[in-house]
Chains A and B, each alone.
Chain A
Amino acid sequence: MSVTRRPVVLSALALIGVGMAAGIAVEAPRLLRKRIRSPYDDITDQIGDQEQAAKVGRAVIAKLGNFDSAKVANSLRIRKGTLADMAHADIDADKTLEANGWVLPESLALACAILADQAKASG
C-alpha cells in the first residue's frame, strides 16, 4: 500500500485550522473586550474583564456616594504590590467594601469603582 503525503498534509492543515478557529472562538470575547482607557491604567489594567468589573464598580460607587478616582488611585498607588497583593492584604486586615451587598476586598472594590467612574466619564 502506498502512502501519499498530500492527504496527511491536508489533514494536518485541517487540524491546525480547527485549532485556530477554536482558539479564536475562545479568545475572541476576551480580545474584543472593551478596555476602559484612563489615567489609572496602572491600576485598572490588573483587572481582566473591565466591563464586568465596571458593573461591580457602579454598585461600589452607589454605596460610597461621592467618589474621586484620582484621590482613590493615589491611595492605592502608595501601597505596595499588585492589586491582587493589596486585595489579599485587605482580606487579612478585614478591610472590605460592599457592592450591593457583595463583600469585596477594599482595594479591588475601589479599583472597580475607578473603572466605573472612568467608563462613565468616557461616555
Chain B
Amino acid sequence: MNSFLDARTLPTGSNLETDLLIIGGGPAGITLALALKDSPIQVTLLESGGMEFDGPTQELYEGPETGTPYLPLNGSRMRFLGGSTNHWGGWCRPLEKIDFEKRDWLAHSGWPFGREVLEPYYPRAQEMVEAGPFIYDEAPAKFPVTTLALGSGGIETVWFQFSKMRGSVLPTHFGERYAGDLKQVSNLKLYTHANATALRLAPDGKSLKQVDAATLSGVKFTIVPKYVVLGAGAIENARLMLASNDMMKTGVGNANDLVGRYFSDHPLPGNNATLVTFAGKLSPFYLGTQHAGGAHMRAAFAPTENFRRSRHVLGSLITVDGGAKLDTLGEATVQTASETLGYDAGSAHAYTIGCGFEPAPDPDRRITLDTERDALGMPRSKLNNTISDEDFARYRATLEEWARQLLASGAGLLQIHHSTREEWLKGLDWGNHHMGTTRMHTDPKLGVTDADGLVHGIANLFVSGSGLFPTYGASNPTMNLVALTLRLADHLKGIFK
C-alpha cells in the first residue's frame, strides 16, 4: 500500500473530495495525519515539496522584509515533506505553566487554556519527536549530575531533551522518519508537489467550499473538503488566508485584521555574557548534549516562574556555549571580588553564554502580502519584524539576577556584554521558530482562532502549529506544536464521530 501520490501526475482540472484536507506536510500535518489513522475520516494532505529539497519549490518562500533585520524568509524554513524539521536542531522542552497565563503586566498575553490542557498530550508528542523518556527538570533525580549550586534566587537550572540523534548530529526529520508510516495509513492520500493557492469561501462567507491547488509543473486542481486544517507554518498559513481575498477583501478569517499579526520568533543574542565559575569546571551537561537516563540531555539556566511574575520578565533559556578566556580586567575582577567576598576562586573557569528569549507579543510584528507574486501567481509574504528595547531590558534583568545570585552563592561572577540597543542587535540571530500569526483567543476581536484552532467565523477551517501560540514562552516550539496538534486530532475525531 502506498498513500503517496504525485500531484504532477493529476490531470489538470481534477476535483478531489475529502473529509479533511491538511495543507502542509510539516510536523503538524504529519502528526495530524498519523493521529487520524484508523479513524473513519478520509484525509487528504497536500505537501508543496517532495521527499528532498528542491530549489524552485523552496523559492516559493522568498519574500521581502522591513524593520529589525531577520533571517531570509526562504532560509528560515524548509519546503518539502517534514517541513522545518528538515533543519531543526532537535531541542525540546515543554512550555511553562506561566507561558499560558494572562499577565496583567504583559499586553496581549495568555492562552485560552492552561498548561493542564496540553499536559496529557506531551507524552505522545515526546514519542513523536523521539526525545526518549520524559525527564526534563527531573534530571537530577534520574541520574548523577552536579548542577551549579546557585542557592536561592530567580534563576535555576533547567533541562532540554533532544530529538533522536541519527548518527552523530541529526534529530528526527519528520518526513524521512514518518514517510513509511504515512504510506501505510489507509485513510490518507498524501499529494506531493501540491501547493494550496486559494481558500474559496461558500457564498455566505461562513465556511470553505473549495481549496485551489497547483503544481509548479502547471497542473491545477481543486479539493472539496468537509474540513480544512492549515499546517503550512505560521508564515504560509497567514499568507494563504490573506491571499484568499476574492470574497472577503481582507482575507479569509481576517475580519478583525489579526491574521499575520503577532508574528514572533526567539531572538538569540550570542555571546551575550561571560560566566566565571569559582569552583572548577561546570558539568559537561551544561556544555553540550550528554546521553543519560535513556535520553539526550542538556542543562541550561532559566528564570523561575516566581521571578518572572515578581519582576515581570519573560521566558529565556540561557545556554553555556563554550569556554572563554578572560582579559586583564576580567582577571582583575575575579581576583578582587573573590578575595574581598571570601570565596576561593583558585579553580575559576570562564564560559561564553548564549540564549534564546521570548519577546512580548507585538501586533506590528506581522506578515502581510507583497505586491510581487511567486511562480504560482500567489502574492509573496512580507515580514515586518520588530524587537523592542523592553524585550532586551527584560532579558538583561534576568542576567542581572543571575549575576546577583552567583555572587550571593559564591558560585561565580557574570559579565553582561550588551547594554545599548545597538549592542544587542549586533550579531543578533533568531531561532527559526515562527509563531503567532493566527493566535488563539476566545474573543474574535483578539484572536484569529478559538481555543480549538477553529478560525473565528469560518465553520470548517482549522489552523494547527505554532502560529496558534498567543504568547510564546522560551521553549522551542516543535514538541509543543506537536502536542497541540494531537489535541486537535482528538477534537476532529469528536467532530466526525
Report A's interface with B, CB cutoff 8 A.
Answer: 46-49, 52-53, 55-56, 59, 83-84, 87-88, 91-92, 94, 96, 98-105, 108, 112
Give Cα A98 to B396, complex, Å: 13
Q: Are B403 and A47 in contact (CB under 8 A)?
A: no
Partner among B274, B331, B332, B407 whose Cβ is within 8 Å of the Cβ of A91 = B407
Assess whether B144 is interfacial by the CB under 8 Å rule.
Answer: no
Q: Are B414 and A103 in contact (CB under 8 A)?
A: yes
Chain B interfacial residues counted at CB < 8 A: 27
Q: Can you list 24 A-B pairs, Cβ within 8 angstroms, ordered by A?
A: A47-B340, A48-B336, A48-B339, A49-B335, A52-B332, A52-B336, A55-B328, A88-B408, A92-B408, A96-B404, A99-B329, A101-B274, A101-B416, A102-B329, A102-B330, A102-B337, A103-B404, A103-B413, A103-B414, A103-B415, A104-B333, A105-B407, A108-B336, A108-B341
| 1/0 contact string of B328-362 vs chain A (CB within 8 Å) | 11111101110111100000000000000000000
Give Cα A32 to B414, complex, Å: 30
B interface, over-half SS: helix
Assess whether B400 is interfacial by the CB under 8 Å rule.
Answer: yes
Going nearest first, the 4 A-B pairs with the smallest beta carbon separation are A103-B403, A52-B332, A55-B332, A101-B415
Give Cα A99 to B403, complex, Å: 13
Q: Are B341 and A84 in contact (CB under 8 A)?
A: yes
Q: Are B339 and A49 in contact (CB under 8 A)?
A: yes
Assess whether B417 is interfacial by the CB under 8 Å rule.
Answer: yes
Q: Which of B273, B329, B333 has the most CB of A within 10 A?
A: B333
Which residues on A sit within 8 Å (CB–CB) of B339?
47-49
Distance to closest chain B CB from A68 (angstroms):
21
Q: Which residue of A lies closest to B402 (CB)?
A: A103
Q: Are A56 and B336 in contact (CB under 8 A)?
A: yes
Distance to closest chain B CB from A105 (angstroms):
7
Taking A52-B331, A108-B336 as given, write out 10 further A-B residue pairs in contact, using a Cβ cutoff of 8 Å, ordered by the A residue number.
A47-B336, A55-B332, A83-B340, A91-B408, A101-B419, A102-B329, A102-B337, A104-B337, A104-B407, A108-B341
Q: Which residue of A lies closest to B408 (CB)?
A: A91
Which residues on A sit within 8 Å (CB–CB) of B408?
88, 91-92
Distance to closest chain B CB from A3 (angstroms):
42
Q: Are A100 and B415 in contact (CB under 8 A)?
A: yes
Q: Are A96 and B329 in contact (CB under 8 A)?
A: no
Q: Which residue of B lies closest to A48 (CB)?
A: B339
Give Cα A105 to B414, complex, Å: 12
Distance to closest chain B CB from A87 (angstroms):
6
Q: Are B329 and A103 in contact (CB under 8 A)?
A: no
Partner among A46, A56, A94, A100 whose Cβ is within 8 Å of the Cβ of B404 = A94
Which residues on B sit within 8 Å (CB–CB) of A83?
340
Which residues on B sit within 8 Å (CB–CB) of A88?
341, 408
Which residues on B sit within 8 Å (CB–CB) of A104?
333, 337, 407
| 1/0 contact string of B305-335 vs chain A (CB within 8 Å) | 0000000000000000000000011111101
Q: Which residue of A lies closest to B336 (CB)?
A: A53
Q: Are B329 and A84 in contact (CB under 8 A)?
A: no
Which residues on B sit within 8 Å (CB–CB) of A101?
273-274, 415-417, 419
Which residues on A sit within 8 Å (CB–CB) of B274?
101
Q: Are B341 and A87 in contact (CB under 8 A)?
A: yes
Q: Which residue of A lies closest to B334 (CB)?
A: A102
Which residues on A sit within 8 Å (CB–CB) of B333?
56, 99, 102, 104
Which residues on B sit within 8 Å (CB–CB) of A47?
336, 339-340
Q: Are A102 and B340 in contact (CB under 8 A)?
A: no
Which residues on A sit within 8 Å (CB–CB) of B342?
84
Q: Which of B336, B342, B400, B413 has the most CB of A within 10 A?
A: B336
Q: Are A96 and B336 in contact (CB under 8 A)?
A: no
Q: Are B337 and A108 in contact (CB under 8 A)?
A: yes
List residues 112-170 of chain B with CB under 8 A from any CB of chain A. Answer: none
Give Cα A101 to B423, complex, Å: 12
Give Cα A94 to B405, complex, Å: 9
Q: Which residue of B lies closest to A105 (CB)?
A: B407
Known pairs A99-B329, A103-B404, A103-B407; A112 contacts B414 (CB<8 A) = no
Which residues on B sit within 8 Å (CB–CB) of A87?
340-341
Give Cα A53 to B414, complex, Å: 17
Q: Are B340 and A84 in contact (CB under 8 A)?
A: yes
Q: Which of A49, A83, A101, A108 has the most CB of B within 10 A?
A: A101
Q: Which residue of B lies closest to A55 (CB)?
A: B332
Q: Which residue of B lies closest to A104 (CB)?
A: B337
Distance to closest chain A CB from B4 (angstroms):
55
Which residues on A sit within 8 Å (CB–CB) of B400?
96, 103
Which residues on A sit within 8 Å (CB–CB) of B337?
102, 104-105, 108
Which residues on A sit within 8 Å (CB–CB) of B340?
46-48, 83-84, 87, 108
Q: Are A103 and B416 in contact (CB under 8 A)?
A: yes
Give Cα A56 to B330, complex, Å: 8
Distance to closest chain B CB from A51 (angstroms):
8
Known pairs A46-B340, A48-B339; A55 contacts B404 (CB<8 A) = no
